[in-house]
Chains A and B, each alone.
Chain A
């Protein structure tokens, strides 16, 4: 069934179709609709899940940790300061190897107070160990939720699905709704091999000495490295049932492109339109959308970008004192294997609109600027 829904509700419908059993969340703009609809679904019996109300995001993730450890499919959603408050528990979810799925609506971090989008909240959680998938449309948002559960449960790792505030969360689009009955063909009920069980008592999250800690960390990295293949396979399996797939990256008119713009989130959609316009003008340009940020698809990125002559990365984020965060990853993917110039552009922080003309400005700069600042070029700053 097709329905016009907002991005936040696309998350809720995705969770409903995935038949999560425990949902615990704390409301925060711009995430609130996600859990509002889910709480209604829990209340009216549309979904057979326990909705746990909590007093903070830290508690929300703590509740998810408990529920997931007890062996049920568990979901939460948050944004910005909420995600940051969860930080300690985000580590816990990874260390305890719990397949929790979290939807984060990218919102700029205060102060100054902002409710509008940028990626610094989720990207500042880069090294925690959560898988991170960045989506660009309401349809992809809904479809990514069951994929995320499948990936998480297979890897025994938590997965974050990340989307732009307002540009996606509050924007209405047509979504082909997936139903639980059909999703079950793709995502079977969660049956963990290990779970907390009073009849088989163990101590969880217990002390591990220097003789064991490193091995447990090694296993997390091993799961991450396996992750790219698992994500690809899960995406294929999803496509088989529903006819839609998204890949780990998406190359748009890149095959013969001399210049490639690297983007993520909703900017990817806008960029495609700009690429078409420039192609019409005879400019050899393409775009690469990064959907999976952790684990980072180094090989897929290298394969596409190594054919180009110039790469321009648009970052809606900034690692202060460093570079754009996607930029660093791209550089790392290409390092030592090509001599292609990689240019970094910072745009759209705190919800400033990245319009087609902004992207065109970036593309033109990348094409013509003989002496770009290369690593970090600020777009649209009133200097």
Chain B
């Protein structure tokens, strides 16, 4: 306390009713019984991303024009944003809070823009030196293998990457058509990953036949298996081996390698997944008239919704509740297909209603080519005896791809069955981290649960409705005869306009609301954050209430 001031006459008093001394002795923070504190939470996009990209952060960095840091933020959890920005099924966007407000932020398109900027700026990629002596073998150079190799190299482990084909990329190269993922983009992405650290590439070597798994196990300190699914599933009807019937994946592989393919005038594609869509749309681009046959309805199709819609827009025809019953061949060549009509029965294990044949209801159609695309299987015959398998997949216990062999890890489709690129990337990275701990004998980290925020945590009064910025694309009428990429990507203006739509859920983006609203001016604005001056914060919690994004929490005093 300061001394009390006595005035002898009013002339000694200030004209205004005010204290003569300062009031610094009066620390009104002592009145507080509850305190606010900055408490950044997890945004639902990040929680929904299999590889846990810090999406809020990189979108914020875009708004700050710091593309390099934005790109590096992605690279910390995904080494190929230029790929996922094109082919990911973006569960982040299904989770986006904005989706419950107007439309989700187009995270996928933002990621692609950043991925492309990474390609334009090869200098952004940090080069890792071999700092560890333990060697790791990575088998398969699809998304899982590339991801695992990248994050192992980043830790300084010398990696040998085995690929049975002549070029790297796996499913990205052979399974995804150029109109979705151009080869030159993939080449640059793969090149950047391989050049980023001590990665030795061995192409044309099939582990399990050219070189035994046991041999690799012996030579390397740890092994990661990311082989994916490379064998097409057969329909299981007669004449499937006749001329004119080819696995869809094989067709895609030919098309993607630049081979001139003529599937003929009339093409049938069997299946409802992404491969079926890719095959159908590729055949369309080769000049064929394409019909997709799926044994359930459009609602049960596992393909990305957008891919189905685009296929329809481009002119692919669909027959639902139809499955091939018989392939009719003339002189060893496909002539027509007899289809069995189906109807939906009771739900199966996947929760989808099981298709059952409608007795006596069949129809026949003539085709030049038939491409079954009903799924792929693993090719792991060569591993038998060395690893536990189940349903022709490698069994993994734990979330890091641990197998029955301590030194061997596995991830991606080879463990999960047909899944997604991003899940394979996540699996590769997690195994790389786990392998690092295994080789350096580090303890496993303790999992801290995330607090994920949602629309109810937002103060939506601060947001106004703004439509999502669509990605510019070439018109559907111009797709025939070309494999040109459909989506041309965001312009800088669209990129920023879309980034500005992000709510930054649960994480401060320096909007200044707390700072402006604090009636006690107890919030100090620093260069990179805010600070609450608890000497003066009376605990009114206006800051917490007015934070649009739930970046503050409260705690009772004395507890």
Binding site for B on A (CB under 8 A): 95-97, 156, 194, 198, 200-206, 208, 212, 215-216, 218-219
CA A327 to CA B23, docked complex, whole Å: 48
Q: What's the least CB distance linking B26 to chain A, in Å?
A: 7
Tell me if B22 is interfacial: C-beta within 8 Å of chain A. yes
Q: Please name the residue on chain A nearest to B521 by beta carbon.
A: A198
8 Å CB interface, B8-46 against A: 10, 13-24, 26
User: What residues on B are CB-neighbors of A156 within 8 Å?
Assistant: 15-16
CB distance from B77 to the nearest CB of A (A): 43
Contact of A212 (CB < 8 Å), options: B7, B15, B24, B521 = B7
Would A202 and B17 be within 8 Å (CB), given that A212-B7, A218-B10 are in contact?
no
In whole Å, how far is B14's beta carbon from the nearest beta carbon of chain A?
7
Asked if A219 and B23 sit within 8 Å, CB to CB, the answer is no
Q: Which of B13, B18, B521 contacts A204 (CB 8 A)?
A: B18
**Minimum CB–CB distance for A128 against chain B, Å:** 16
In the bound complex, residues from chain A placing their C-beta under 8 Å from that of B26 are 203
- The complex places the Cα of A57 from the Cα of B411 at a distance, in Å, of 67
B10 surroundings in chain A (CB, below 8 A): 215-216, 218-219
Consensus secondary structure, chain B interface: loop
Q: What are 13 A-B interface contacts by the 8 Å CB criterion?
A: A96-B16, A97-B16, A156-B15, A194-B15, A201-B24, A202-B20, A202-B21, A212-B7, A216-B13, A216-B17, A218-B10, A219-B13, A219-B15
Instruction: Give chain A nearest CB distance to B476 CB in angstroms.
Output: 47
Is A204 a contact of B24 with CB atoms below 8 Å? no
| Contact call A206/B7, Cβ cutoff below 8 A | no
For A219, list chain B residues within 8 Å (CB): 10, 13, 15
A194–B18 Cα gap in the complex (Å)?
A: 10
Given A203-B19, A203-B23, A215-B10, 12 other A-B residues pairs in contact with their CB atoms under 8 A:
A96-B16, A97-B15, A97-B16, A97-B17, A194-B14, A201-B23, A202-B20, A203-B18, A205-B18, A206-B17, A215-B7, A219-B13
Across the A-B interface, how many residue pairs have beta carbons closer than 8 Å?
48
* A212-B7, A215-B7 given; A202·B22 CB < 8 A: yes
Q: Write the nearest CB–CB distance from A215 to chain B, whole angstroms.
A: 4
CA distance A358 to B358 in the complex (A): 102
Least CB distance, B403 to chain A, in whole angstroms: 64
Q: Tell me the B260-296 residues at the A interface (CB within 8 Å).
A: none
The complex places the Cα of A215 from the Cα of B17 at a distance, in Å, of 10
In Å, the complex CA distance between A216 and B17 comes to: 7
Check A212 against B13 for contact (C-beta < 8 Å): yes
Inside 8 A of A205's CB, which chain B residues have their CB? 17-18
Give A129 Cβ to nearest chain B Cβ, in Å. 13
- The digit string for B236-268, where 1 denotes a CB below 8 A from any CB of A, is 000000000000000000000000000000000
Residues of A within 8 A of B7 (CB): 212, 215
Most buried by B among A198, A200, A215: A215
Instruction: Determine the chain A residues whose CB is within 8 A of the CB of B23 once the complex forms.
Output: 201-203
In the complex, residue of chain A having the shortest beta-carbon distance to the beta carbon of B12 = A215
Secondary structure call for the A interface: loop
Q: Which residues of A contact B19 (CB under 8 A)?
A: 202-203, 206
Would you call A194 and B22 a contact (CB within 8 A)? no
Residues of A close to B18: CB separation below 8 A: 194, 202-206
Q: CB-CB < 8 A to A96: which residues of B? A: 16-17
Chain B residues, Cβ within 8 Å of A208: 17
Contact of A95 among B17, B24, B521 (CB under 8 A): B17
Cβ of A191 to closest chain B Cβ, rounded Å = 15
User: Across the interface, do B22 and A204 meet the contact criterion of CB distance under 8 Å?
Assistant: no
What's the Cα separation between A212 and B17 when bound, in Å? 10
- Give the residues in chain A near B521, CB-CB below 8 Å: 198
Q: Which 3 A-B pairs rank lowest in CB-CB distance, beginning with the nearest? A: A215-B10, A203-B23, A203-B19
Known: A203-B19, A203-B23. A215 touches B13 (CB 8 A): yes
CA–CA, A216 and B24, complex, Å: 24
Q: What 1/0 mask marks residues of chain B from 418 to 455 whose CB sits below 8 Å from any chain A CB? A: 00000000000000000000000000000000000000
Cβ distance A210 to chain B, nearest Cβ, rounded Å: 13
B440 to chain A minimum Cβ distance, whole angstroms, is: 53
Contacts of A200 in B (CB 8 A): 22
Closest to A196 in B: B18
Whole-angstrom distance from the CB of A117 to the nearest CB of chain B?
35
- How close is A217's CB to chain B, nearest CB, in angstroms? 10
Residue with the greatest number of chain B CB neighbours at <10 A, chosen from A156, A200, A208, A219: A219
Give the residues in chain B near A215, CB-CB below 8 Å: 7, 10, 13
| Structural contact, A194 and B16, CB atoms closer than 8 A | yes
Q: How far is it, in angstroms, between the C-alpha of A202 and the C-alpha of B25 when the chains are bound? A: 11
Q: Report Cα–Cα, A201/B22, bound state, in Å.
A: 5
A219 to B17, alpha carbons, bound, how many Å?
A: 11
Smallest Cβ distance from A206 to chain B, in angstroms?
6
A198 CB to closest chain B CB (Å) equals 8
Alpha-carbon separation in the docked complex, A48 to B124 (Å): 46
The answer for the CA separation of A67 and B512 in the assembled complex, in Å, is 21
Closest to A213 in B: B17
Q: Please, how many angstroms separate the alpha-carbon atoms of A205 and B21 in the complex?
A: 14
Which chain B residues lie closer than 8 Å to A216 at the CB level? Answer: 10, 13, 17
Per the bound structure, the CA–CA distance linking A197 and B17 in Å amounts to 15
Q: For residue A67, give the distance in angstroms from its CB to the closest CB of chain B.
A: 15
Which B residues, 491 to 548, have Cβ-Cβ distances below 8 Å to chain A? 521
Q: How far is the CB of A287 from chain B (nearest CB, A)?
A: 38
Expressed in whole angstroms, the Cα–Cα distance for A200 and B18 within the complex equals 12
| Cβ contacts under 8 Å, B24 to chain A | 201
Q: How far is the CA of A307 from the CA of B23 in the complex (A)?
A: 57
Min distance, Cβ B345 to any Cβ of chain A, angstroms: 62
Cα distance, A97 to B14, chains bound together (Å): 11
Bound-state CA distance A201–B23 (Å) is: 7
- A217 — nearest CB in chain B belongs to which residue? B10
Residue of B14, B15, B19, B20 contacting most chain A CB atoms (<10 Å): B15
Find out whether the CB atom of A204 lies under 8 angstroms from the CB atom of B15.
no
* Chain A nearest CB, measured from B356 CB (Å): 66
User: Measured between C-beta atoms, what is the minimum distance from B324 to chain A in Å?
Assistant: 70
What's the least CB distance linking B431 to chain A, in Å? 55
Closest chain A residue, CB of each to CB of B22:
A201
B-side contacts of A97, CB under 8 Å: 15-17
- Please report the C-alpha to C-alpha distance between residue A218 and residue B11 in the assembled complex, in whole angstroms: 11
* Shortest distance from the beta carbon of B11 to any chain A beta carbon, whole Å: 9
Q: With a CB–CB cut-off of 8 A, which chain B residues contact A201?
A: 22-24
Q: Considering only CB atoms, which chain A residue lies closest to B23 in the complex?
A: A203
**A160 to B16 alpha-carbon distance, docked (Å):** 20
Shortest Cβ distance from B461 into chain A, in angstroms? 15
Q: How far is the CB of A202 from chain B (nearest CB, A)?
A: 5
| Contact partners of B20 in chain A: CB under 8 A | 202
Residue of B at shortest CB range from A216? B17
Cα separation A156 to B15 with both chains bound (whole Å): 8
C-alpha spacing A215/B11, complex, angstroms: 9
B5's nearest neighbour on chain A, judged by CB, is A212
Report the Cα distance A203→B14, complex, angstroms.
12
Cα A201 to Cα B25 in complex, Å, equals 11
Give complex CA distance A298, B516 in Å.
Answer: 48
Q: What's the Cα separation between A109 and B17 when bound, in Å?
A: 33
- CA–CA, A204 and B18, complex, Å: 4
Measured CB to CB, the closest approach of chain B to A207, in angstroms, equals 9
How many Å from the CB of A375 to the closest CB on chain B? 38
In the complex, what residues of A have CB within 8 A of residue B14's CB? 194
Chain B residues with Cβ below 8 Å from A202 are: 18-23
Kindly list chain B residues whose C-beta atoms are within 8 Å of the C-beta of A194.
14-16, 18
Q: Which residue of A lies closest to B16 (CB)?
A: A97
